[in-house]
A and B are shown apart, each in its own frame.
Chain A
Amino acid sequence: MTDREKALMRVQTSAFAVTEATLFLDTHPGSREALDYYHKAVNEYNDAVNIFITNFGPLEATQVKSRDNWTWTEGCMPWEGECNVEL
C-alpha cells in the first residue's frame, strides 16, 4: 500500500466510524458511551484528514493550501480505480 493509500484508508475508516456514531446518536442521544466514542472517532478523523490534505491534496475545496496553484481539481477523481486502495 502506498503512503497515499494508507492515509486515505485512515480517513475512510475513521469517517465511517464517525458516520455510524452519528446515526446511532441521532436515535440514542442520551448514550454517554456513544458520545464518548463519537468524540474519539472525530479526533481520529480530524488527524487523518490533516495528514492526508497536508501530503496529498485537498479533500474539500476549502482545504486548498497553495497560494500559487488551484489544487482542488488536480489528481485522480475518486471514482477512478487507481485513486482507490486495493482491498
Chain B
Amino acid sequence: MWNYEKRLQYPVRIKKPDGMAAKIIITQFGGPDGELAASQRYLSQRYSMPYGDVAGLLTDIGTEELAHVEMICAIVRQLTKDLTIEQIEEAGLAPYFVDHTVGLWPQSAGGVPFSATVFQSKGDPITDLTEDLAADGTTLYEQTAFSKCRKPLILLGFCHFSRSYKPFHPATAQEQLVTKNNQNHDRTSCFQEKSH
C-alpha cells in the first residue's frame, strides 16, 4: 500500500501561464515515455522479479515515479490554469480544452491517450530491466531537452539518469543535485519568455 505525503518531491512554482509549453510537457504525464508509464512499468514488473533486492528496487523506483507524475501535473496545471480562451486557441490547446477544459488528462503531446501499450511487463527479469533502461533513457532525453528552462525538469532528468546509467553515491547525491541546479540555468524560464 502507499501513504501520501502532502508535498511535491521538488518545488514547482510557475509565475506565468504558457499553453505552448504545457502542450509539450503534458507528454511527460501521459506520453509513451512519461512518468505515468514509468510508474506503472516498474510497479507492474516487480511482481515477477525473482530477486528480492531488485523487486524492492522496482518498488522504490515505481513509487518515486508516482511523485514525478505529481510534479509534471503541477507544472501543467500551473502553466494552464490562468490561460484566457484566446491564449488557449493561440497555443493550439483548443482540441484539448473542448474535451478536458484545463483538467489534467494523461495524453501525449500529439494528443494520443495514455495507453499501457507503451510499456512492457514480460515476467522475465532481463527483458524487463532492458526495457526499463530504454524507457528511462528516453525520459532523460526528453526531460533534459527542457532542462535549460525549468529546475523541476532538471531534477527529473537527474533522477532518471541516476536510475538508468549511474547510481549516485548517496553521500554526493545532494551535492550533485545542488551543483546541477546552480549550473547557470537562467531564472527566466523559456516558458516565461514565450508568454506574452
Task: List the A residue with the shortest CB-CB distance to B57.
Answer: A26
Q: Is B195 an interface residue (CB 8 A)?
A: no
Q: Do most interface residues of chain A lie in helix, strand or loop, or is the interface mixed?
A: helix
Residues A60 and B6 in contact, CB atoms below 8 Å apart: yes
The verdict on A24 contacting B169 (CB below 8 Å), with A16-B177, A79-B73 known, is yes
Contact of B9 among A12, A24, A28, A62 (CB under 8 A): A12
A61 and B171 CA atoms in complex are apart in Å by 31
Q: Is B77 an interface residue (CB 8 A)?
A: yes
Q: Is A2 an interface residue (CB 8 A)?
A: no
Residues B13 and A78 in contact, CB atoms below 8 Å apart: no
Residues B151 and A81 in contact, CB atoms below 8 Å apart: no
The verdict on A17 contacting B14 (CB below 8 Å), with A23-B57, A23-B60, A60-B6 known, is no
The verdict on A17 contacting B74 (CB below 8 Å), with A78-B7, A84-B8, A85-B11 known, is no
Residues of B within 8 Å of A78, CB to CB, are 6-8, 70, 74
Which residues of B are at the interface with A, using a C-beta cutoff of 8 A? 3-15, 53-54, 56-57, 60-61, 64, 70, 73-74, 77-78, 151, 162-163, 167-171, 173-174, 177, 181
